[in-house]
């Protein structure tokens, strides 16, 4: 089963060498993997014996395991590099802060560029984020290292499995379950995947298909630990949504749109949907239901968490999140409250850089990642996001109309195992009593009625519902002006998620 296919990132490095770029910026969190790839490339190049020199602020310059210079200052490092006349690869780790802070370093790097042009000497600046001084944009080639590919993870998995067998372990996997293990590892770095597999096999005698579930859980934990993406389990189905026929139909028609068959048919994979609307009317519900309907993993990116900075510098975290998504594709990325992330509230330009990165990614990513973004304050979103071609569709979810409220009551009353018979008539009366209520408010009314009935250990009755309805003041009463604004904004910019007419009752 082992395949000796070179990873995509290897090809990118070779291409840059062939293109004779003296200065390269490699984007990656995986120093070991990058170094190994560069060494592979250096040793495979014909007719030259390349020296391989690494530098970091803590180690100085190292070649063949020995320190050849203990220079720490970035300017001195570049000076030392310029002096070396042999064919060489220079790998400089975490050099990016100096490109932000030191103009002299940027200037010296340009000198390196001119000195190395058309010479077999190549500098690789390795960092997890892209920092390119404007004056150097033309001279630096950017190499975006993907997270490990399917084949790389397969190679890793096979070598760990072989070692397991050597220790006397039994491998009871068929071809399909091999695949499910690799899918479970996608999105992890090589070292994360190695740790996860080692932990999985420690103390075990047999490797079975069901153990892939443990890896899924491990991945969930790792993404949680990183605090970037939250894996959302499939708990909501289309049947849990009352009303909203238009958006449901749109999603059902695209059920297999990310699959091979759709691609063979000539269909471009849909990029995403933006769902905006009145709070509590089912935006999140719709996104959760897509994952179930399309049978794809759903990851939630919370923009507010991103800016809280718990997981690191927001721009880096955002770039990493999109990279993880690329590598777990096909998958759905839920960007919750997108407006709070990309409208410039920080005043420091971070949000506009994140926006720029997001738009470029939306335009250019070839991975099958479907973005489902939700927004309450659509007026805060920059026009570029809403421009045609970014999202496949923008939906507006309004307050439910009477028939939809009946359906929402039905959905939530399904939970009660003990309930007095309720006719169509009762439901339509309940719907009349909840004029301008949101789905969330109806759900709360049903829950509160169930608590009342349960406290007296009896089935839920219509009167319980009326009582709880009378205790509630719906949001629409206090937010009438805001909802009116939202409707008028959406009128000619978004498609109504429901075929019901937009008529105030
Ligand atoms: P917010 O803007 O506050 O995040 P939202 O529009 O995302 O709100 P949801 O989280 O989808 O709203 O819905 C809130 C709750 O209301 C959910 O628990 C859901 O069960 C219920 N609900 C809302 N709309 C509907 C609906 N159309 N059918 C069934 N339940 C609904």
Structural domains of the chain, with CATH: 8-144 (3.40.50.300), 150-215 (1.10.8), 231-397 (3.40.50.300), 402-477 (1.10.8.60)
Residue 443 Cβ contacting ligand 1 at under 6 Å: yes
- DSSP per-residue codes, 419-459: B----HHHHHHHHHHTTT--HHHHHHHHHHHHHHHHHTTS-
Q: Give the confidence band of 346 by pLDDT, cuts at 50, 70, 90.
A: very low
| Lowest mean pLDDT segment, chosen from 178-187, 259-268, 326-335, 337-346 | 337-346
- For 218-228, what is the mean pLDDT? 68
Distance 298 CA to ligand 1 centre (A): 17
**CB of 408 shorter than 6 A to ligand 1:** yes
Flag whether pLDDT at 3 surpasses 70.
no
User: What is the pLDDT averaged over residues 324-345?
Assistant: 78
Mean pLDDT of the chain, nearest integer: 86
Lowest mean pLDDT among 224-228, 371-375, 445-449: 224-228
Ligand 1 site, residue 486, Cβ cutoff 6 A: no
Is residue 477 within 8 A of residue 442, CB to CB? The reply is: no
Among the listed residues 55, 200, 22, the one whose alpha carbon sits nearest the alpha carbon of residue 127 = 55
Residue 448 alpha carbon to ligand 1 centre in Å: 16
* pLDDT of residue 4 exceeding 60: no
Confidence at 348, pLDDT banded by 50, 70, 90: low
pLDDT score at 223: 66
Which position has the higher pLDDT, 81 or 329? 81
The percentage of residues in the chain with a pLDDT greater than 70, rounded to a whole number, is 94
- Which residues have C-beta within 8 Å of that of residue 445, sequence separation ≥ 6? 434, 437, 465, 468, 469, 472
433-442, pLDDT tens digit by residue?
998 899 999 9
What confidence score (pLDDT) does residue 2 get? Answer: 41
Residue 441 CB less than 6 A away from ligand 1? no
Task: Note the pLDDT tens digit of each residue in 240-256.
Answer: 999 999 999 999 999 88
Total-model pTM: 0.69
Residues paired with 89 in a beta bridge: 52, 122
């Amino acid at each position: 089963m082992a395949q000796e296919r070179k990873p995509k990132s290897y090809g990118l490095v070779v291409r840059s060498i062939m293109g004779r770029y003296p200065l390269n910026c490699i984007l990656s969190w995986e120093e070991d993997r990058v170094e190994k790839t560069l060494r592979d490339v250096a040793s495979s190049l014909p007719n030259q014996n390349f020296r391989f020199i690494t530098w970091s602020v803590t180690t100085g310059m190292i070649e063949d395991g020995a320190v050849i210079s203990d220079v720490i200052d970035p300017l001195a490092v570049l000076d030392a590099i310029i002096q070396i006349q042999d064919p060489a690869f220079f790998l400089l780790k975490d050099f990016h802060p100096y490109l932000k802070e030191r103009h002299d370093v940027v200037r010296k790097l340009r000198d390196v560029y001119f000195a190395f042009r058309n010479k077999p000497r190549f500098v690789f600046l390795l960092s997890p984020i892209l920092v390119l001084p404007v004056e150097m944009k033309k001279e630096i080639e950017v190499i975006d290292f993907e997270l490990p590919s399917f084949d790389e993870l397969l190679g890793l998995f096979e070598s760990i499995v072989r070692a397991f067998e050597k220790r006397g372990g039994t491998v009871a996997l068929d071809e399909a379950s091999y695949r499910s293990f690799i899918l479970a590892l996608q999105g992890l770095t090589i070292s994360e995947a190695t740790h996860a597999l080692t932990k999985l096999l420690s103390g075990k005698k047999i490797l079975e298909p069901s153990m892939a579930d443990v890896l899924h859980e491990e991945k969930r934990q790792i993404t949680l630990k990183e605090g970037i993406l939250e894996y959302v389990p499939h708990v909501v189905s289309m049947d849990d949504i009352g009303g909203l026929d238009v958006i449901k139909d749109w999603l059902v028609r695209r059920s297999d749109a990310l699959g091979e068959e759709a691609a063979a048919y000539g269909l471009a994979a849909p990029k995403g949907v933006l769902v905006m609307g009145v709070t509590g009317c089912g935006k999140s519900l719709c996104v959760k239901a897509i994952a179930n309907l399309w049978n794809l993993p759903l990851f939630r990116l919370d923009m507010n968490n991103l800016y809280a900075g718990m997981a690191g510098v927001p721009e880096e975290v955002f770039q990493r999140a999109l990279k993880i998504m690329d590598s777990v594709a096909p998958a759905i990325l839920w960007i919750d409250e997108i407006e709070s992330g990309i409208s410039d509230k920080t005043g420091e330009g971070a949000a506009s850089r994140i926006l720029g990165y997001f738009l470029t990614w939306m335009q250019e990513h070839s991975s099958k990642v479907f973005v489902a973004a939700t927004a309450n304050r659509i007026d805060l979103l920059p026009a570029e996001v809403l421009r045609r071609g970014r999202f496949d569709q923008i939906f507006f979810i309004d307050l439910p109309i009477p028939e939809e409220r009946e359906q929402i009551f039905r959905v939530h009353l399904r939970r009660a195992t003990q309930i007095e018979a309720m006719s169509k008539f009762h439901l339509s009366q309940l719907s009349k009593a909840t004029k301008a209520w949101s789905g969330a408010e109806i759900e709360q009314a049903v829950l509160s009625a169930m608590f009342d009935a349960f406290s007296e250990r009896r089935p839920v009755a219509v009167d319980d519902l009326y009582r709880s309805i009378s205790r509630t003041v719906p949001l629409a009463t206090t937010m009438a002006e805001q909802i009116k604004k939202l409707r008028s904004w959406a009128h000619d910019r978004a498609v109504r998620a429901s075929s019901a007419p937009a008529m105030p009752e």
